[in-house]
Structure 1
Amino acid sequence: MKAKGLEQTLEILRDNGVYITLEEFKSKVPISRKGLTIETRQTDFENPFLMGGALQGSTSGSRSKSSPVKRNWNFIAEEAANEMILYKIHGMARAPLALWLPALPRMAGTHNLLMNVKYRRPPERWFSHTKTNSLRIPLIDRLALEYILWCCRHFGIEVPRPEFTDIRSAVTVAEWMEKTRKNKGPCVVRTYTSSAVRLVQAAIDHGIDISGNVILTGGEPLTEARCRFIESAGVKVFSRYSAAETGSIGASCDNLNGPDDMHVYVDRLAIIQRHRKTAIGEAEVNSFLFTSLSAHLGRVLLNAELGDFGKITIKPCDCLFGELGMNVHVSEVLSHDKLTCEGMTLVGFELDEIVGKMIANIGGGPDDYQFWETQDGGGLSKLVVAISPAIHNLDENDFIENLFEKLQSKSLGGHLMSQIWRQADTLQVVRAYPELTQGYKFLKIIKNPQKTLF
Structure 2
Amino acid sequence: MDVFSRNDVLTGVRFLKTIPSFLRHPWTLSQARQTVRLRLERRASDFCALMKKAVYGNPDSPYLGLLKQAGCPYDELEDSVRKHGLEETLRLLFQEGVYLTVSEFKGRAPVRRGRSTIDAHPSLLRNPLSRDHLRAQTGGSGGRSVPVLIDLAYVRERAADHLLALAARNGRDWVHAVWGIPGNTDMVRVLELCALGTPPERWFTQVDPRSPGIHPRYPWSVRALRWAAWAWGVRVPAPRHASLNDPSAIVQWLRRVLDRGRIPHLVTWASPAVRVCREAERTGSSLSGVQLSIGGEPITAAKMDAIRRTGAAAVPRYMAMECGYIAYGCLQPSFPDELHLFDDMHAAIQPEARRPESGLPADALLLTSLRPSAPFILLNVSLGDQAQPCTGSCGCPLEQIGWTRRIRQVRSFEKLTAGGMTFLDSDILRVLEEVLPSRLGGSLLDYQLIEEEGASGEPKLRLIISPSVGPVDPVAAKRVFLEAAGRGSGAERLMSLQWGEGDFLSVDRRLPKLTAAGKILHSIKASPGRAAGPEPAARHKNLL
Moved more, 112-121 or 270-279: 270-279
Question: How many angstroms apart in 1 are the aligned matches of 2:325 and 2:257?
Answer: 27
Q: Which residue of 1 aligns with 2:298?
A: 221
C-alpha contact 2:214 2:493 (8 A) present in aligned 1: no
C-alpha contact 2:432 2:448 (8 A) present in aligned 1: no
Structure in which a larger fraction of residues adopt strand: 1
Question: How many angstroms apart in 2 are the aligned matches of 1:119 and 1:442?
Answer: 50
Moved more, 391-400 or 95-104: 391-400
| TM-fit CA distance, 1:138 | 2.9
C-alpha contact 1:19 1:303 (8 A) present in aligned 2: yes
User: In the alignment, is residue 37 of structure 1 matched against residue 117 of structure 2?
Assistant: yes
C-alpha contact 1:194 1:380 (8 A) present in aligned 2: yes
C-alpha contact 1:268 1:293 (8 A) present in aligned 2: yes
Q: Secondary structure at the match of 1:43?
A: helix
Q: 1:273 to 1:388 in 2, by over 3 A?
A: farther
Q: Which residue of 1 aligns with 2:483?
A: 405
After superposition, what is the alpha-carbon deviation per residue over 1:92-130, rounded to whole angstroms, capped at 9, x for unaligned?
A: 1111111112232xx321111000101211111111112
Moved more, 135-144 or 215-224: 135-144
Question: How many angstroms apart in 2 are the aligned matches of 1:108 and 1:278?
Answer: 34
Question: How many angstroms apart in 2 are the aligned matches of 1:57 and 1:42?
Answer: 14
| TM-fit CA distance, 1:435 | 3.7
Q: Which amino acid aligns with 1:374?
A: E
Question: How many angstroms apart in 2 are the aligned matches of 1:224 and 1:70?
Answer: 35
- Output aligned runs, 1:75-154, within 5 Å: 75-104=154-183, 107-154=184-231
Max radius of gyration: which structure?
2
- Output aligned runs, 1:1-16, within 5 Å: 1-16=81-96
| TM-fit CA distance, 1:363 | 5.6
After superposition, what is the alpha-carbon deviation per residue over 1:313-355, rounded to whole angstroms, capped at 9, x for unaligned?
A: 3543423321232111121111111111111111111111122
Q: Secondary structure at the match of 2:316?
A: strand
Question: How many angstroms apart in 2 are the aligned matches of 1:31 and 1:284?
Answer: 18
Q: Which amino acid aligns with 1:128?
A: T
Q: Which residue of 2 aligns with 1:357?
A: 434
C-alpha contact 1:292 1:300 (8 A) present in aligned 2: yes
| TM-fit CA distance, 1:284 | 5.4
C-alpha contact 2:350 2:363 (8 A) present in aligned 1: yes
C-alpha contact 2:305 2:456 (8 A) present in aligned 1: no
After superposition, what is the alpha-carbon deviation per residue over 1:211-241, rounded to whole angstroms, capped at 9, x for unaligned?
A: 1111110111120011011100011111000
C-alpha contact 2:419 2:459 (8 A) present in aligned 1: yes
Q: Secondary structure at the match of 1:210?
A: coil
Question: How many angstroms apart in 2 are the aligned matches of 1:163 and 1:299?
Answer: 31
Question: How many angstroms apart in 2 are the aligned matches of 1:408 and 1:269?
Answer: 31
Q: Which residue of 2 aligns with 1:17?
A: 97
User: Which structure 1 residue ranges, 5 or more long, are not aligned?
Assistant: none
Q: Which residue of 1 aligns with 2:422?
A: 345
Moved more, 371-380 or 122-131: 371-380
User: In the alignment, is residue 160 of structure 1 matched against residue 237 of structure 2?
Assistant: yes
Q: Which residue of 1 aligns with 2:49?
A: none
Q: Which amino acid aligns with 1:329?
A: R
After superposition, what is the alpha-carbon deviation per residue over 1:36-94, rounded to whole angstroms, capped at 9, x for unaligned?
A: 1013321111111114x521111132344232112212211111111111111111111
| TM-fit CA distance, 1:449 | 5.1
User: In the alignment, is residue 419 of structure 1 matched against residue 497 of structure 2?
Assistant: yes
Question: Percent of counterpart pairs with the same letter?
Answer: 29
**Could you say what the CA RMSD is over the residues aligned between the two structures, in angstroms?**
2.4
Q: Secondary structure at the match of 2:395?
A: coil
Q: Secondary structure at the match of 1:167?
A: coil
C-alpha contact 1:278 1:336 (8 A) present in aligned 2: no
| TM-fit CA distance, 1:186 | 1.9
C-alpha contact 1:371 1:383 (8 A) present in aligned 2: yes
User: In the alignment, is residue 46 of structure 1 matched against residue 123 of structure 2?
Assistant: no
Aligned length: 449
C-alpha contact 1:224 1:259 (8 A) present in aligned 2: yes
Question: How many angstroms apart in 2 are the aligned matches of 1:181 and 1:439?
Answer: 56
C-alpha contact 1:370 1:386 (8 A) present in aligned 2: yes
User: In the alignment, is residue 305 of structure 1 matched against residue 305 of structure 2?
Assistant: no
Q: Which residue of 1 aligns with 2:470?
A: 392
Question: How many angstroms apart in 2 are the aligned matches of 1:322 and 1:438?
Answer: 45
Q: Which amino acid aligns with 1:387?
A: I
Give 2:407's match in structure 1, choosing from 314, 330, 343: 330
C-alpha contact 1:195 1:342 (8 A) present in aligned 2: yes
Question: How many angstroms apart in 1 are the aligned matches of 2:532 and 2:363?
Answer: 28
Question: How many angstroms apart in 2 are the aligned matches of 1:237 and 1:392?
Answer: 46
Q: 1:185 to 1:133 in 2, by over 3 A?
A: same
Moved more, 283-292 or 215-224: 283-292
Q: Which amino acid aligns with 2:315?
A: F
Question: How many angstroms apart in 1 are the aligned matches of 2:515 and 2:169?
Answer: 41
C-alpha contact 1:152 1:159 (8 A) present in aligned 2: yes
Question: How many angstroms apart in 2 are the aligned matches of 1:293 and 1:85?
Answer: 19
Q: 1:408 to 1:90 in 2, by over 3 A?
A: same
Q: 1:5 to 1:314 in 2, by over 3 A?
A: farther
| TM-fit CA distance, 1:453 | 6.0
C-alpha contact 2:451 2:462 (8 A) present in aligned 1: yes
| TM-fit CA distance, 1:297 | 0.7
Q: Secondary structure at the match of 2:238?
A: coil
Moved more, 110-119 or 62-71: 62-71
| TM-fit CA distance, 1:285 | 6.2
Q: 1:17 to 1:283 in 2, by over 3 A?
A: closer
C-alpha contact 1:278 1:337 (8 A) present in aligned 2: no
Q: Which residue of 2 aligns with 1:72?
A: 151
User: In the alignment, is residue 429 of structure 1 matched against residue 507 of structure 2?
Assistant: yes
Moved more, 381-390 or 205-214: 381-390
C-alpha contact 2:432 2:444 (8 A) present in aligned 1: no
Q: Which residue of 2 aligns with 1:60?
A: 139
Question: How many angstroms apart in 2 are the aligned matches of 1:171 and 1:430?
Answer: 30
Q: 1:278 to 1:437 in 2, by over 3 A?
A: farther
Q: Secondary structure at the match of 2:245?
A: helix
Q: Which amino acid aligns with 1:232?
A: R
Moved more, 252-261 or 309-318: 309-318
TM-score (ref. length: structure 2): 0.78
Q: Secondary structure at the match of 2:494?
A: helix
Q: 1:252 to 1:175 in 2, by over 3 A?
A: same
Q: 1:102 to 1:397 in 2, by over 3 A?
A: closer
C-alpha contact 2:454 2:531 (8 A) present in aligned 1: no
| TM-fit CA distance, 1:441 | 6.5
TM-score (ref. length: structure 1): 0.92
C-alpha contact 1:65 1:411 (8 A) present in aligned 2: no
Question: How many angstroms apart in 2 are the aligned matches of 1:276 and 1:437?
Answer: 25
Q: Secondary structure at the match of 1:241?
A: strand
Q: Which amino acid aligns with 2:301?
A: E
Give 1:318's match in structure 2, choosing from 384, 389, 395: 395
C-alpha contact 2:181 2:494 (8 A) present in aligned 1: no
